[in-house]
Amino acid sequence: MDYIFVNKILKTPIYKQIAYSIISAIEKGDLIFNDKLPTEKEICQTFSISPTVVKMAYDFLISEGKIKRIKGKGTYVTNRSHYHSPLHQFYQVDRVFMDEIDHYDRQVILVDYIDDDYSAYRMLKLNKGEHCFVFIRIIKNHRNPVLLQKIYLPEKYFPKLESSDLENQRLFDLISKKQTQPIDHLHNTFSPINASSAEALLLNIEPDDAIYFVRTLLIGEKNQVLGYVTNYFPGEFTEFEVMVHAI
Amino acid sequence: MQSNLFVHITIDRRSTVDYNEQIKESIKALILDQTFYYKTLLPSPKMIAIHLNIDYKYAKLAYDQLIQERYIRKIEDDQYEVSYFELTNYFFDRNVAIYDAIIALGLTPSIKCVEKKVVTLSIDEQKYMGFNPKENSKYFYINRLYLGNMQPIMILENYLPMTIFPEIDQNFVGDEPLNAYLDQHYNIKAKLSHRTTQAVNLTSALAKYLNERKNAASICSTNRVYDQNQVLIDFGRSHTISSYYFQALISKEEISEYYISR
Name the H helices within chain B.
2-5, 19-32, 45-52, 56-68, 98-104, 123-129, 168-171, 178-186, 204-209, 252-261
Average pLDDT over residues A76-105: 72
pLDDT at B117: 97
pLDDT at B1: 43
Average pLDDT over residues A88-113: 73
pLDDT band at B3 (very low <50, low <70, confident <90, very high): very low
Q: Name residues 18-37 of chain B within 8 A of A (Cβ).
A: 22, 25-26, 28-30, 32-33
Pairing of strands A183-194, B41-42: unpaired
Q: Which domains does chain B have, with CATH numbers?
A: 2-82 (1.10.10.10), 89-240 (3.40.1410.10)
User: What is the percentage of chain B residues whose pLDDT exceeds 90?
Assistant: 56
Asked if the C-beta of B229 comes within 8 angstroms of chain A's C-beta atoms, the answer is: no
CA distance A55 to chain B (A): 27
CATH number for region A83-241: 3.40.1410.10
What angle is formed at CA B217 by the lines to CA B212 and CA B220, rounded to 5 degrees? 105
CATH of A14-77, one of 2.40.128.50, 1.10.10.10, 3.40.50.720, 2.60.40.10: 1.10.10.10
Q: Kindly provide the b/e burial profile for residues B211-242, where b requires at least 16 CB atoms within 10 angstroms of the residue's own CB.
A: ebeebbbbbbbbbbbbbeeeebbbbbbbbbbb
Q: Which of A186, A194, A246 sits opposite B217 (nearest CB)?
A: A194
ipTM, two decimals, is 0.83
Per CB-CB distance under 8 Å, the chain A contacts of B250 are 88, 91, 185-186, 188
Q: CB-based contacts of B226: which residues, under 8 Å, 6+ apart?
A: B190, B191, B192, B193, B194, B232, B233
CA–CA separation, A100 and B84 (whole Å): 39
Is pLDDT of A52 > 90?
Answer: yes
CB contact under 8 A, A172 and B241: no
- Numbered ranges of CATH 3.40.1410.10 in chain A: 83-241
- Numbered ranges of CATH 1.10.10.10 in chain A: 14-77
pLDDT at B91: 52
Average pLDDT over residues B173-197: 91
Determine the residue of chain B that is closest to A124 in CA distance: B33
CB contact under 8 A, B193 and A244: yes
CA–CA separation, A165 and A176 (whole Å): 12
Torsion of CA B42, B208, B88, B144, to 10 degrees: 140
Is pLDDT of B245 > 70?
Answer: no
Disruptive mutation site among B94, B195, B198, B258 for chain A (greatest number of A CBs within 10 Å): B198
Q: Which amino acid is at A75?
A: T
Per CB-CB distance under 8 Å, the chain B contacts of A208 are 201, 215
- B39-48 per-position pLDDT tens digit: 889 999 999 9
Q: Which of A121, A185, A192 sits opposite B241 (nearest CB)?
A: A192
- B59-109 per-position pLDDT tens digit: 999 999 999 888 999 988 889 999 888 776 555 555 566 787 788 778 899
A68 forms beta bridges with A76
- A193-215 per-position pLDDT tens digit: 999 999 999 999 989 999 999 99
Average pLDDT over residues A51-60: 93
CA distance A73 to chain B (A): 23
- B11-23 per-position pLDDT tens digit: 888 888 899 999 9
Three-state SS at A15: helix
Highest mean pLDDT among A29-33, A185-189, A235-239, B257-261: A235-239
Please indicate whether residue A96 or residue A30 has the higher confidence score (pLDDT). Answer: A30
